[in-house]
A and B are shown apart, each in its own frame.
Chain A
């Protein structure tokens, strides 16, 4: 069964450094998403992406964040200058249509020191 994959599974970085989290969505899906989950808290929506542009974003997704689909398979989330409070699990998801079920990847645990 096709699945969303994410790399790396764990990322440790120093405050102020840039990180890029990578995702490979399900191949025939057209809608892509990033979510985050701070330890012990609920999942929060960050951004959705369709047709090579951001379609929706939350207030969390500020200028420090950017997303890109650099090729036909990868979908990336870049955090330009990480802060301690960026430490969280970051989930990528994809769906075939805007209203279809979103399939989540296993997540990348980001730790900012």
Chain B
């Protein structure tokens, strides 16, 4: 069964600090991995997408890494801002023929304090 596990479940940091969120997956056959940011009561917004051959990808203050061998990904947030407070969700896509399955992690709830 495809699974995506995220850690930590929740994280509290001070504004300006960096943090790293983790995602481990057992999804096969792997197609891509996305990190989404979900504000409370809102739909998820895509931050990054990584395919099998990509090790790192940046989007502003967000940097995602992918190790396809160990099936791990991380999302690093630099110089956090209050607006970064949200749930960060790791989503892994399995693609087999024409069938595509997205498996969502439970998310890491990040709180940035002033």
Q: B89 near A43 (CB under 8 angstroms)?
A: yes
- Among listed A14-22, A79-87, A104-112, interface-contacting one: A104-112
Q: B42 near A42 (CB under 8 angstroms)?
A: no
- A44 to B32: give the CA distance in the assembly, Å: 17
B57 within 8 A of A: no
Nearest neighbor of B107 in chain A, beta-carbon distance:
A42
Q: A104 near B100 (CB under 8 angstroms)?
A: no
**Interface residues on chain B, size class:** 20 to 34
Binary per-residue interface labels of chain B (73-113) against chain A in the complex, 1 for a CB within 8 Å, 0 otherwise: 00000000000000001000001001111101111000000
Contacting residues, chain A, for B99 (C-beta < 8 A):
56
A11 within 8 A of B: no
A61 within 8 A of B: no
Q: B32 near A107 (CB under 8 angstroms)?
A: no
A51 within 8 A of B: no
Least CB distance, B20 to chain A, in whole angstroms: 21
Q: A99 near B32 (CB under 8 angstroms)?
A: yes
State the A residues within 8 Å of B (CB): 4, 41-45, 48, 55-56, 89, 91, 93, 98-99, 101-107, 109
What would be 30 A-B contacts, judged by CB atoms less than 8 Å apart?
A: A4-B43, A41-B106, A42-B89, A42-B104, A42-B106, A43-B44, A43-B89, A43-B104, A44-B104, A45-B101, A45-B102, A45-B104, A55-B98, A56-B99, A56-B101, A91-B43, A98-B100, A99-B32, A99-B95, A99-B100, A101-B46, A102-B46, A103-B46, A104-B43, A105-B43, A106-B43, A107-B41, A107-B42, A107-B43, A109-B41
